[in-house]
Structure 1
Amino acid sequence: MGAPRARRWKLLLPPFQSSKRKPPLPPPPPPPVAVAPSPEKKEEEVVPEEFLCPISGSPMADPVILPPGRTFERACVDACAELSLSPPGASPAAAAIPNDALRAAIRTWHARSGRATPSPPSAAAARDAVLRARHTASARANAAAAVANLTLEPENRVPVVRAGAVPALVDVLSSSSAAAASPEACEHAAGALFGLALHEGNRAAIGVLGAVPPLLDLLTKINPDAATPRARRDAGMALYHLSLAAVNQSKLARSPSAAKNLLAIASSSSFTDPPIRRLALMVICNMAASTEGRAALMDAGAVATVTTILSNSNSEVEELCVAAMYGMSRGNPRFRALARAAGADRPLILVAEKANAGAHKEMARKTLRVVLGLGDYNDSGDLPDFMNSEGNVNGGVPVHRRRAASWAAAPPVATPTTPSSHQWRSVCID
């Protein structure tokens, strides 16, 4: 027998898997399905106008009817009564009638729209809404006209300032609210400040309360159509009287571009209203009364500008030009060199020789002596009386303001006794 064969073993192994094999791809995403937009994403429905209170502009929680048939929020009606005001288009003394039908309609509409039922406003919120509704352009014009009428009486000028009216008038003229205010409101505000500035005791306080910059801006607007002629004249007269106080002379001197803008108006030939140029020169004369004002004017080229005006102008502004030159010549060694460079000696010689005897001829003579080196820089003489005359400019007296009144016929006006008699600014009465 042969040798036995070796036993063979059969191994059962799992199928070999390579580690480099890529994983299977994920199944493709299902195709997009168009879904209709939910009701929440729809455009919010506008509240019907008849559901809104005319005063607050919000949906009414407790609507009431006032004669002759208008509906308001009850809290706003109570706020009007508390402030002694009349709801717009309604009688103030009428009894409020609850409008149950409208209240049910408002609640039904809010429930259908998925909104919360409106709640009545608080007393403070209703009071604020009433006051905001009163601040319309027409209301501001009426209020400014009423203040302007009060300032016509001399005994009212100090109490009006102490009552705090100046900040409100300044706010009407300020650049931030002048665009929203009507031209009538700006005109009446300028007239009110003019009337208040006539009292010498008010001038410093008005300047401290910030009236100088908006008045200066109104007077020196480059575009003549940017303000009414009366508004410009009243602003100029107010600025002139305010600049009689030393504290306001300093404010004008320190105001950016004040001297430059005043000189531009005084030398401009585009204005069809000559009093505007005279007013600018009058304010320049008052600025020249202070050391700071003289320095600011000379830095802005006032000597050359006034010399040019004096050489080319007629007698209407001759006195003011001479007064301005005289004011700048006092206490400032720079004046002589600037005046000689501008040729100021020639027009001054003509005025000193040909003008009638008076204050401005004497000022021209003294100023000429300074230009020629024959006078003293420290002449401390005051400006003549004609500079302090309210009749130097047409319309130099504040006028009564007339606005569209609610009565059928205008009230009788007093017979004029002087060319500058008052004309009422009447206020609309609801």
Structure 2
Amino acid sequence: MGENQDQNSCSIVTQLIQIIKEISCFPECKNTSKKMYSNLTRRVKLLSPLFEELIDREEQLSVDLVHAFETLLATLVSAKVLLKWVEETSKLYQAVQRDKISSDFLRITGQIEEALSKISYDELDLSEEVLEQIELVHAQFRRAKSRMESPDLQLEMDMTLALEEADPHPSVLKRLSENLHLRTMDELRQESRAFHEMVITSGTDMSVSFGMMSTLFKKLNDYLLTVNPEVEMLDVDKGMIKHRSPVIPDDFRCPISLELMKDPVIVSTGQTYERSCIQKWLDAGHKTCPKSQQTLVNTSLTPNYVLKSLITLWCESNGVELPRASGTCGNRKTGSSTSNCDRAAIGALLRKLAIGNTEDKRAAAGELRLLAKRNADNRVCIADAGAIPLLVELLCSPDPRTREHAVTALLNLSINDANKGIIVNAGAIRGIVEVLKNGSMEARENAAATLFSLSVVDENKVAIGAAGAIPALVDLLIEGTPRGKKDAATAIFNLSFYQGNKVRAVRAGIVGPLMRLLKEADGGMVDEALAILAILASHSEGKVAIGQAEPIHLLVELIRTSSHRNRENAAAVLWSLCIGDGKQLKLAKELHAEEVLKELSENGTDRAKRKAASLLESLQRVEETAGITDGIRSITIV
């Protein structure tokens, strides 16, 4: 029971560190939610020192503390979801619904403050520096939870004018364009994709917001076409010159994508949409008309031939290229409005994978490998075509080259986050591990890189470790090329955030190879080796194994001479080895560790300073204890 509780303690602290790190790394927000977004990310980031200090301790947390941390973790996950939504969703929607979004931030802030209130800080024996910072950030959350962000009165006024006036003054649209960060046609195209994606995937009534957003979008689009000359420059992809793009009539735009329709169809309410967009809406299970929110009597789509003819005539008379057949509402978000992949070619390759002979399968896997490497559209199209399960089957092929192509194709496909889940669900992990164990060197290296890519998803860390990947990665760390060693180290580092994988790495004999890499300064692997040791040293088995390698002298030297990040990790390992171990402390003192630790406590990173200060205190106690012992001996002799 005690061991399980200890594992739970370490796991919850690790998860909190990870979620805080993820929130801290969110990019700068560029929309009307910017202030609330940045305030929340900044306050969450300030929680980091608390858990960084706890991760290196071996004391078991009480059940109440674990429960309090679990509550905090749940609220931070909710915060991450809200922040990610703000980052990705329509800027126009956030402007129209700013009061609701402000309430959402207020609710999350209150939940975090309440979770922080349930933590008994007295039980944690925190350093004064960390305790002061936590009290400060807690006070910030306490103040923020009862204070709604003040409205942007200028934005409110400009939006009202833009919505109510048929022809708002250009200065109003200019301010709106700047405040909403929709200043170029490229930004407006991205907004269009976010807008129609939101309309299609939303499960709520958006009828009011939909109309307001459509009106704002059209007016901003027309304004930018008037003032941005760069829109009319050479279009490299099409190889044609546009001198002054005409304003697209509103009736020619799909209400979902807000783009010129190529295949307009009528639904039962009488509204017209682009076929691919409304079909996606219906496929998502919606039973209403997106624009009017009326219930659809049926889901039949009637071609609007009259409107299609009008669009064709308008395009020809205005010198506008007719819309391409690829459409604008794909099934998956790729970051571009059209798909550039060759679906027919991909389909032919899949047929070879499915029914071809050995040579056909090898060649097809090689082609897919190259296509998946080339661009994001291909990665989406290949997965949508159903290639992933066929590639997973090839991981067990008797032909080494075919296995290499298959694992590398999966690596390239895994760059797309949505594909990671498809790959794992197809049962790929065991096949990838088998290639890691028995493939060619290139195949092993690419298998290691694939496992790292998949392990970005936390639940995959457990499955990858359980499939036997860790010993095979340690073997690659020893035997691989310089690139292979880095791939293996990166995968091991990421996997070791899961507690059970730390034990697997230690028992696979990783400490010896890591120590050798530390001693090879010109091998380019010191950074990776120290980072892994810092994680393993926080586990009891890791601490023992590292201590047996007698690394104290090397750690002291690295603190003296290495980079900021390496000095921090070396100090973390030294701290784990020495705290509570008089023998290691005495050895560190004999190696003059105090000198380098004093310098680190003044000039290191925040975490390094804390480790150095704690070690200096322990070394001072060793010196005082030694002095008392010497005094007792002299009295005894007299």
Report the CA distance between 1:90 and its aligned residue. Answer: 7.2
Alignment of 1:71-110 (within 5 A): 84-87=354-357
1:227 and 2:475 aligned: no
Mapped to 2, the partners of 1:89 and 1:249 lie a distance apart of 41
Report the CA distance between 1:356 and its aligned residue. Answer: 5.1
Mapped to 1, the partners of 2:353 and 2:485 lie a distance apart of 35
Report the CA distance between 1:333 and its aligned residue. Answer: 4.5
Report the CA distance between 1:132 and its aligned residue. Answer: 11
For residue 598 of structure 2, the aligned residue among 337, 349, 360 is 349
Mapped to 2, the partners of 1:206 and 1:132 lie a distance apart of 16
Contact 1:215 1:239 in 2 (8 A): yes
Report the CA distance between 1:314 and its aligned residue. Answer: 4.3
Q: Which has the higher helix share?
A: 2
1:277 and 2:540 aligned: no
Identity %: 25
Report the CA distance between 1:308 and its aligned residue. Answer: 2.6
Mapped to 2, the partners of 1:156 and 1:83 lie a distance apart of 19
Mapped to 2, the partners of 1:362 and 1:228 lie a distance apart of 34
Alignment of 1:20-169 (within 5 A): 84-87=354-357, 135-169=398-432
1:196 and 2:448 aligned: no
Please list the CA deviations of residues 232-259 of structure 1 after superposition, one character each: whole Å capped at 9, or x if unmatched: 2221111001111111111222233x21
Q: CA separation of 1:334/1:196 partners in 2, compared to 1, >3 Å: closer, same or farther?
A: farther
SS in 1 for 2:621: coil
Report the CA distance between 1:373 and its aligned residue. Answer: 2.2
1:370 and 2:618 aligned: yes
Query: Hey, what does 1:391 align to over in structure 2?
Result: none
What is the count of residue pairs matched by the alignment? 243
Q: CA separation of 1:304/1:89 partners in 2, compared to 1, >3 Å: closer, same or farther?
A: closer
Q: CA separation of 1:294/1:357 partners in 2, compared to 1, >3 Å: closer, same or farther?
A: closer
SS in 2 for 1:301: coil
For residue 361 of structure 1, the aligned residue among 596, 603, 609 is 609
Mapped to 1, the partners of 2:494 and 2:447 lie a distance apart of 16
For residue 264 of structure 1, the aligned residue among 507, 510, 516 is 516
Mapped to 2, the partners of 1:132 and 1:317 lie a distance apart of 38
Mapped to 1, the partners of 2:617 and 2:536 lie a distance apart of 22
Q: CA separation of 1:342/1:261 partners in 2, compared to 1, >3 Å: closer, same or farther?
A: farther
Please list the CA deviations of residues 333-352 of structure 1 after superposition, one character each: whole Å capped at 9, or x if unmatched: 44313322433222112211
Q: CA separation of 1:264/1:323 partners in 2, compared to 1, >3 Å: closer, same or farther?
A: same
Contact 1:263 1:305 in 2 (8 A): no
Report the CA distance between 1:159 and its aligned residue. Answer: 4.3
Q: CA RMSD in A?
A: 3.2
Alignment of 1:293-308 (within 5 A): 293-308=542-557
Mapped to 1, the partners of 2:396 and 2:499 lie a distance apart of 41
Please list the CA deviations of residues 356-384 of structure 1 after superposition, one character each: whole Å capped at 9, or x if unmatched: 56222122111222233279xxxxxxxxx
Q: CA separation of 1:228/1:140 partners in 2, compared to 1, >3 Å: closer, same or farther?
A: farther
Mapped to 2, the partners of 1:357 and 1:254 lie a distance apart of 32
Please list the CA deviations of residues 75-121 of structure 1 after superposition, one character each: whole Å capped at 9, or x if unmatched: xxxxxx99832235679xxxxxxxxxxxxxxxxxxxxxxxxxxxxxx
SS in 2 for 1:220: helix
Mapped to 2, the partners of 1:301 and 1:294 lie a distance apart of 11
Report the CA distance between 1:329 and its aligned residue. Answer: 3.5
Query: Hey, what does 1:286 align to over in structure 2?
Result: 535
Contact 2:395 2:432 in 1 (8 A): no
Query: Hey, what does 1:117 align to over in structure 2?
Result: none
* Unmatched 5+ stretches in structure 2: 1-350, 362-392, 624-638
Contact 1:172 1:185 in 2 (8 A): yes
* Unmatched 5+ stretches in structure 1: 1-80, 92-129, 376-430
Report the CA distance between 1:173 and its aligned residue. Answer: 2.1
Larger deviation, residues 132-141 vs 231-240: 132-141
Q: CA separation of 1:162/1:137 partners in 2, compared to 1, >3 Å: closer, same or farther?
A: same
Contact 1:336 1:373 in 2 (8 A): no
